[in-house]
Chain A
């Protein structure tokens, strides 16, 4: 009985383990992904890592490269990632860097999806805003600011969107209890 309960707890307790750390990949691996190859040819520092899982390609980029990379992906005619589907965050508390910001891009011409991932340390997290380039990012970034407490620099109107204005804390952070603070 005790053993069973311990096993149950170990299975259902969150481990916070990262699926696979973005690593610096060799040119051979990049060559298998045309988009990643193009990115690398454009700026050799653009790709900090590459993750492939279930046929989905995730390019890890550094925080300071996000805006130029997103701009390039959208403006380069042979890529055409003009549609920003979604922005979302995974909180890997207590690991550092704590936050992973995922940008889900779609190219209507190539019929292809691409995810950009930026890792962010937990102390006063802030990101450059994509709203000037992709107006759709506006509400996504407000939602992330509201629920994760990540600031977006250059956002035109960064304020809470789902929670009340006077709410304290950021509910989707992992150190925020599911039942709220009592």
Chain B
């Protein structure tokens, strides 16, 4: 026992521990503001240095894959919104493309361009939330408020088109749920007028910010080989120098007709991921601008396949065949041929793959979502072991996980 500390008044005695230092176990989350939901990370610490990090997930597991098996193909679309609640339209698209592949459907041009336009807006909205929340984690409050201001404008467009801000379920098998309203494109144009300037504003606040750079440069380094071995995708992979973007490699929804670059960096640290995402927002604006030119003002927004795609409202009300098909589609659904498909899109977070197995009935036999957040989160120990506790926050932030998508 050591002598009482003369600086402390009273009778309290201070014991200095002897022997080798023991690592400390620290639970970060599941209720922690910078874990973006309910992620729990069990950290083993030596002082402030991270020795081991283990993610514990499953707090948001809702059994979406199991629920899909009990619904018809169209009903399951509403569940896909809830997987990644920051990019619902990307999920809708991934699922619809998989079912359309199963059915071998041809989608009208107009629907495809609207799909591209809206998913790119989704990407911007999702990156804005990422930027805002990550800036808060790093101690910059204002970007969050600005980012949410612009995101709200994008959500207003979603609401105008589909009637819902977030759980849109706007993409349906065969096309779109509703005809896009006439002045929807003008709204998007008005948004695009201001958006590039706003992104400049965020960059003014952050890119050369000393604190921002000190917290991000060289932190959470991931090599290209590690990123591939860990199955990382999206900006996490591209910031490590691997040029893998599904929109370029396996173009879907006519992405091959659009001109855009895939921003990549080679540093592989948190700052590189930030630069990648900001550059991606600018590229998305480019894509939306081209989509605005391409979207035809008139024309079908759903494929014309009786028995699978619902007839138009007018047809349903005026023709007996239309009424029969409408009734059949909404009571018993449609039955794709037996088979298995895997279809992947580039969601804001990376490769969002949907595996659908059909056994020839009107309900999917098995639906599996290969969600980018789930796979990307595996890289967390690789990013933060050996670094300080404060860097864990930066690492979790820049992997850009959505816990709804991790747990499904």
Contact = CB atoms under 8 A, between A and B. Distances in A.
A54 B101 contact: yes
B102 A136 contact: no
Contacts of A135: 229-231, 378
B334 to A, nearest CB: 9
Contact of B342 (A15, A19, A56): A56
Nearest to A179: B70
A17 B72 CA distance: 17
B356 to A, nearest CB: 10
Contact of A115 (B101, B342, B358, B366): B342
Given A14-B363, A54-B101, A85-B344, A172 B338 contact: no
Contacts of B339: 19-20, 53-54
A56 B339 CA distance: 11
B228 A11 contact: no
A22 B285 CA distance: 45
Interface in A134-182: 134-136, 138-140, 147, 160-164, 171-172, 178
A56 B344 contact: no
A172 B68 CA distance: 11
A15 B353 contact: no
Contacts of A113: 250, 342
A17 B365 CA distance: 9
A24 interface: no
A56 B362 contact: no
Interface in A1-34: 7-8, 11-20
Nearest to B371: A86
Contacts of B353: 85-86, 104
A108 B361 contact: no
A163 B65 CA distance: 14
B370 A104 contact: yes
Given A12-B332, A88-B370, A108-B228, A102 B340 contact: yes
A42 interface: no
Nearest to B358: A19
Interface in A92-128: 102, 104, 108, 111, 113, 115
Interface string B217-232: 0000000000011110
Contacts, number: 130
B338 A111 contact: no
A14 B344 CA distance: 25
A162 B38 CA distance: 13
A140 B368 CA distance: 12
A111 B250 contact: yes
A172 B342 contact: no
Nearest to A115: B342
B4 to A, nearest CB: 46
A8 B331 contact: yes
Nearest to B331: A8
B351 interface: yes
Interface stretch (B56-64, B261-269, B291-299): B56-64
Interface centre among B57, B228, B337 (most CB of A within 10 A): B228
A178 B360 contact: no
B1 interface: no
A54 B231 contact: no
Interface string B325-354: 000000111010111111010000001010
Interface residues of B, number: 52
A19 B104 contact: no
B77 interface: no
B94 to A, nearest CB: 13
B228 A86 contact: no
Nearest to B246: A106
Contact of A178 (B58, B66, B229): B66
Contacts of A104: 342, 353, 355, 370
B341 A15 contact: no
A90 B365 contact: yes
Interface centre among B338, B340, B353 (most CB of A within 10 A): B340
B72 A12 contact: yes
Nearest to B374: A139
A19 B339 CA distance: 5
Contacts of A162: 57-58, 61, 407-408
Contact of B249 (A58, A111, A161): A111
20 contacts: A8-B331, A12-B72, A12-B362, A14-B69, A19-B338, A53-B339, A58-B340, A82-B228, A82-B229, A83-B228, A85-B231, A85-B342, A88-B368, A90-B366, A102-B355, A134-B229, A136-B231, A139-B378, A178-B66, A178-B69
Interface of A: 7-8, 11-20, 53-54, 56, 58, 82-86, 88, 90-91, 102, 104, 108, 111, 113, 115, 134-136, 138-140, 147, 160-164, 171-172, 178
Interface of B: 57-58, 61, 63, 65-67, 69-70, 72, 101-102, 104, 228-231, 242, 244, 249-250, 331-333, 335, 337-342, 344, 351, 353, 355, 357-363, 365-366, 368, 370, 374-375, 377-378, 407-408
Given A13-B361, A15-B359, 17 more contacts: A12-B332, A14-B69, A14-B361, A19-B338, A54-B101, A54-B341, A82-B228, A82-B229, A83-B231, A85-B353, A86-B370, A102-B355, A136-B231, A139-B375, A147-B65, A162-B407, A162-B408
8 smallest beta-carbon distances between A and B, as pairs: A136-B231, A86-B370, A19-B338, A88-B368, A162-B58, A162-B61, A19-B339, A53-B339
